[in-house]
Amino acid sequence: MTKDDASLPGFIRRFLPSFSGQPLGPLLTISLRSLARRRPQAFERLGEHRKARFLIDPTDLPFAFSVVPDGPASIVRATGKTVSEPNDVIIRGPILMLLGILDGTLDGDALFFHRSISVSGRTEAVVALRNAIEDAELRPSDMLGIGGQLAHIADTGILGGLAFARRIAVGASVEQGHTHDR
């Protein structure tokens, strides 16, 4: 799998909203703080690095996320692509790959070694974040703060949808490659 294989196809990107007016930051902040209250141990592995600022930049989306994973004081902001403030870590890659690392479907190390994602900044903070995410075994329902049967339905639906999206993205990439070949 090359670095572009899992990028969102162009026809999907055209439907994505532009950066301005994103409500994602406040929503993700609430979600992350709620997760910290329900599962504080998920943040313990971060140690001192919970105060680090991570810029998560999905290369196939028109915006990025600035994340400080400080437990109940966590902050997530949707930002533009231009890096305007100091970040401890910058992680870049196709959104479906970044989500695959988050839900444990993909191996972040393998993606990094094969240059499918890029990482720069404080390596110890990246390593701590990666290990914390690995052990947390986050499901979509954890981020949505729901439980019971509804959580099962949400997890099955969202993870199935992401797997389907990855297949579509890889298929579109192959299709594009063939077009270029011709």
Binding site for another protein (CB under 8 A): 1-3, 45-47, 49, 104-110, 112-115, 118-132, 134-137
Tell the smallest beta-carbon distance from residue 155 to another protein (Å). 16
Shortest Cβ 99–another protein spacing (Å) = 14
Q: Annotate 44-106 with DSSP letters as a single string.
A: HTTGGGGG--EEEEETTSS-EEEEE--GGG-EEEEE-SS--S--SEEEEE-HHHHHHHHTTSS
- Cβ 33 to another protein, closest distance in Å? 20
Q: How far is the CB of 135 from another protein (least distance, A)?
A: 4
Nearer to another protein, 36 or 126 (CB): 126
**Using an 8 Å Cβ cutoff, are 94 and 58 in contact?**
yes
Instruction: Please enumerate in sequence order all residues whose Cβ is within 8 A of that of 70, keeping only pairs 6 or more positions apart, or say none.
Output: 43, 50, 51
Nearer to another protein, 24 or 105 (CB): 105
Q: What's the CA gap between 112 and 93, in Å, rounded?
A: 9
Q: Which is nearer to another protein, 22 or 116 (CB)?
A: 116
